[in-house]
Structure 1
């Protein structure tokens, strides 16, 4: 049985969900962003208890197909941008279509109608959040960040960064702005 979980966007989220499943003695086969695979179906009382515990932590079990698809798109993009830099050089539409086994234009339309933004804009927003994180850490040059996030050049990153944040990357860094958005709220 697969469970789809909203707002599960990082390794700590995975640990929190795993902990809740273990507390309820629910056997886990695998766990990844937004998804838990169980070795059996849940009893009604188990599902209700799990829902309650997860809601307390800011997570939500998803039941309908549209919500599951939207959450899967978001989690694939988050994973790609924040945890799998080497894969950023692949074509996003192909990546999503292959993983979700659906036509990209259908996914794009569904995402736009449901979220009020495009998949591409969501992807850019995630990349800018990652760039902000890397700028705050101050371990990489802007050129290295642009390369890691698969921008064609520093200018392209700088233009998108300013468009999204209102600051150039260097102004952002100079002002020591640590104002970052939570990934699950983007």
Structure 2
């Protein structure tokens, strides 16, 4: 019987590879590993599940057992996939997207997120988008107008204002001292 484990702090393809490596090393049969989720071919029992959790914790991950924490982690992973994995966010309506994927009322999900995390879900999305802006500024492959378009900002001015609110500096100021200001995705 297939079973799904929800994993906290999986934020990138390297995280997926690390978890797959642990599963392979332990000989645990799985179907898929994606951001925040492992689909196992059969349910894990007792010591094996504890050993897996211990090995996951060694590399910064944790098995999430309660439903509310699982939902919050799924919300975070959906944002990370969309913001950091898509070429463009044009037209993404976050309330509809999150509610449709998780098949739950957005007001409930947003309220749940805010009650557990120290920020609102909307602020979390903004922080993820700002980290993507930082990444694109560091790589210097696209200009600010293209960045604003990709991340669905209505204007460069709006992007710059939001960037300054979050980081305390303008995109230009950031670009001058860029390397030391990046955060890992799981620290946001």
TM-score (norm 2): 0.96
Q: Does structure 2 retain, via aligned residues, the 8 Å contact 1:6–1:60?
A: yes
Question: Which residue of structure 2 aligns with residue 181 of structure 1?
Answer: 183
Question: Which residue of structure 2 aligns with residue 144 of structure 1?
Answer: 146
How far apart are residue 178 of structure 1 and its match? 3.3
Q: SS at 1:178's partner residue?
A: helix
Question: Which residue of structure 1 aligns with residue 124 of structure 2?
Answer: 122
Moved over 6 A (4+): none
Q: What is the RMSD computed on CA atoms of the aligned residues?
A: 1.1
Question: Which residue of structure 1 aligns with residue 95 of structure 2?
Answer: 93
Q: Does structure 2 retain, via aligned residues, the 8 Å contact 1:81–1:88?
A: no
Q: Which runs of 5+ in 2 are unaligned?
A: none
Question: Which residue of structure 1 aligns with residue 162 of structure 2?
Answer: 160
The count of corresponding residues between Structure 1 and Structure 2 is: 186
Q: How does 1:12-161 map to 2 (within 5 A)?
A: 12-161=14-163
Once residues 88 and 121 of structure 1 are traced to their aligned partners in structure 2, the CA distance between those partners, rounded to angstroms, is 18
Given the superposition, is the C-alpha separation of residues 88 and 40 from structure 1 closer, same or farther in structure 2, using an over 3 Å criterion?
farther
Q: Does structure 1 retain, via aligned residues, the 8 Å contact 2:7–2:36?
A: yes
How far apart are residue 43 of structure 1 and its match? 2.2
Q: SS at 1:167's partner residue?
A: coil
- Post-superposition CA distance 1:20-75 (Å, at most 9, x none): 01111111111110001011111212101100100000000000001101110111
Once residues 97 and 45 of structure 2 are traced to their aligned partners in structure 1, the CA distance between those partners, rounded to angstroms, is 35
Question: Which residue of structure 2 aligns with residue 3 of structure 1?
Answer: 5
Q: SS at 1:9's partner residue?
A: coil
Once residues 5 and 178 of structure 1 are traced to their aligned partners in structure 2, the CA distance between those partners, rounded to angstroms, is 29
